[in-house]
Amino acid sequence: MGARSLHSLLSWRLPTLQGTGYPSAGRMILWRGAPACISLQIMITHLSALKLKVLSMKARVENIVERGKVGEEYIASEQEQEAFNKWTAGSFTRQDHPTVIQVLLDSDKDKDMITGHVMPNLIYVSREKSRTSPHHFKAGALNVLLRVSAIMTNAPIILTQDCDMYSNDAQTPLRALCYLLDPKFQSNLGYLQFPQRFNGINRTDIYACAFMRLFRINPSGMDGLLGPNYVGTGCFFKRRVFFGAPSSLVPPEIPELSPGHTVDDKSIQSRLTLTMAHHVANCNYENHTMWGSKIGFRYGSLVEDFYTGYRLKCEGWRSMFLYPDRAAFYGDSPINLLDVLNQTKRWAIGLLEVAFSRYCPLTFGARSMGLLMGLSYAHYAFWPIYSIPITIYAFLPQLALLNGITIFPMVSEQWFPLYVFLFLGSYGQDFLDFSSAGGTLESWWNEQRMWMIRGPSCYLFGLVEYLLKSIGISAQGFNVTSKVLDDEQSKRYEQGIFEFGVSSPMFVPLTAAAIINLVSFLGGLVRVCTGSSRWEGAFVQMFIAGFVTLNCWPIYEAMVLRSDKGRMPTKTTLISTFLASALYIASFLALRRN
């Protein structure tokens, strides 16, 4: 989390201490009188001091970024001097730099200043990067941490967390250990997954960033089989799970990395330990090894979490899903539409990399895990394929309606009730699942609207980009989703207003579909009212166009009614209008020839 984000977070939480951040604080004051007031005052004092430190850190970071180096005035110890000596001009950049391993807290030496309790080891690791060596994005970073931690402590339990996630319950590790150390599950329980939960989502979750099905509904169902998938954060692993199947250990290339290796009783700051840790963090260390294929987090997909969890299940490991009433962890979510779509597009490409690989869930997965688990993973892997039917339904019935052609059964025909049953049944089941997981009607409406929005935008672009990449025309880079808070964007987000703001190719098909559906619905009404078309024949197409038009209200609002910085860019509106007109003309000419 950047300094600006953390500053904004503290600025919001500090004045709301008696609100959602600390729900019992107000009650303590009323029930226990002065001692509770004193405790609360101490808490506020500590938070105020922390906020001042964050502001100071922000100023120092901005100064260092502006100067391009760490000045002597910021180096307070010999250890820091040794670490920053590696920051030499021209040899330390974001894409090209040596390994940095710094022990910040040593359990053999450091104690809590107030309680006197021993502090846990805290080690900063920055792996070596080189423009000439692949680094495998997040999976590569996790494998480096796996090896470095094996050298320094080799703890048997590992927790993976995204940088924007934080603990919300100190009892969470105990909950996890209750299962991971239970003799009944010792043989093949590989990891325990907590759901991702987000603290900054607005009341109705307009971008459906809570992903109720991905993080709550589907994992509950998979928990009845072999367990939920790994979602990249909030997950406790046994170290053993990364070294082969439960019944067959795949030994690493050096014994010090083995999950059963006992670390010698020596300081983690000894030269021998640090030298070995630097060695295994080298960017060329994995050459000619099984890291990323049979050992560690798996390479081959941009969604390394999905792919790693899937491969572990295929090897015979099980997992468990824990969903306590009090959230174990909280995190941030993007607050503008483009970041949401870019994030999902990256997921779409990674999922397709798994779907069309030798490890396809429909074939390899079904053989390894059973049909039901294979279908569960296939449901995720083939997500981007939804872009094809969604895009067809966004344009084809509407263009046919504009040209006076009916493509669905009339209301009086015998097949019409089937269409009604399929529509109401699918949406009714969807709503029941969503509400049973604690969702509201408004958040469900936004969830299904975002499903429609993702179809002709990020899913479609992800599918096209994957196909181009497969034939060697395009290559996908890894872009971290921005979650930095902007005051104006935050205000609009809290008000439930969609954020467009910048031009993006992904907005073009969305806006074109919104235009065509609105014109088609109005044109259908005119045709029915003037008698040019029978309402029985045009009803289904008008219903689809009207339903999409209703879902596209934020787009119409951003195109015409808004004047803030989050409105739809004029350039995007013009291009989309041209595209919609071209599609209509093409459909008119094609149908006239027939």
DSSP codes of every residue in 266-277: S-TTSHHHHHHH
CA separation for the pair 594, 577 (Å, rounded): 26
Q: Which residue has the higher pLDDT, 343 or 21?
A: 343
- SS3 state at 180: helix
As a whole number of angstroms, the distance between CA 175 and CA 194 comes to 11
The region of weakest confidence among 28-32, 114-118, 307-311 is 28-32
User: 126-164, pLDDT tens digit by residue?
Assistant: 888 888 888 899 999 999 999 999 999 999 999 999 988
pLDDT at 75 over 80: no
> Among 32-41, 565-574, 579-588, where is mean pLDDT lowest?
32-41
Q: 88 pLDDT exceeds 60?
A: yes
Say if residue 313's pLDDT is above 60: yes
Higher pLDDT, 590 or 5: 590
Res. 2: pLDDT tops 50? no
Stretch 418-435: mean pLDDT:
92
10 pLDDT higher than 70: no
Q: Model confidence at 46, in pLDDT bands (50, 70, 90)? A: low
Residue 284's Cβ-count burial label (10 Å; 0-12, 13-18, 19+) is exposed
DSSP summary character for residue 497:
-
Nearest to 501 by CA among 460, 516, 492: 492
Q: How many Cα atoms within 13 Å fall on the side-chain side of residue 588?
A: 7
pTM, two decimal places: 0.84
- Binding site annotation covers 571? no
**φ, ψ (nearest 5 deg) of residue 111:** -130, 155
Does residue 230 contact residue 306 with C-beta atoms inside 8 Å?
yes
Task: Check whether 129 is labelled as a binding-site residue.
Answer: no
Residue 525 has pLDDT above 60, yes or no: yes
What percentage of the chain has pLDDT greater than the value 70?
A: 86
Residue spans per domain, the chain:
385-438+486-592
What tens digit of pLDDT does each residue of 237-276 get? 999 999 999 999 999 999 999 998 888 767 788 888 889 9
How high is the pLDDT of residue 13? 33
Strands in 175-231 per DSSP E:
189-193
pLDDT at residue 364, as a whole number = 96
- Judged against a pLDDT cut of 60, whether residue 3 lies above it is answered with no
Q: What are phi and psi of 160, to 5 degrees?
A: -105, 135
pLDDT of residue 440: 92
The DSSP output letter for 299 is: P
Q: Does residue 485 surpass a pLDDT of 60? A: no
Residue 431 has pLDDT above 70, yes or no: yes
Confidence band for 360, pLDDT divided at 50, 70 and 90: very high
Q: How confident is the model at residue 386 (pLDDT cuts 50, 70, 90)?
A: very high
Provide Rg for the chain, Cα atoms: 27
Q: How far is CA 535 from the centre of its chain?
A: 44
Q: What does the pLDDT average to over 395-418?
A: 89
| Average per-residue pLDDT for the chain | 84
Whole-number pLDDT of residue 467: 92
Q: Model confidence over 495-507: pLDDT tens digits?
A: 889 999 888 999 9
Say if residues 420 and 304 touch (Cβ distance below 8 Å). no
- Residue 132: the pLDDT is 84
The helix or strand, by DSSP H or E, that contains position 248, with its residue range, turns out to be: strand 248-249
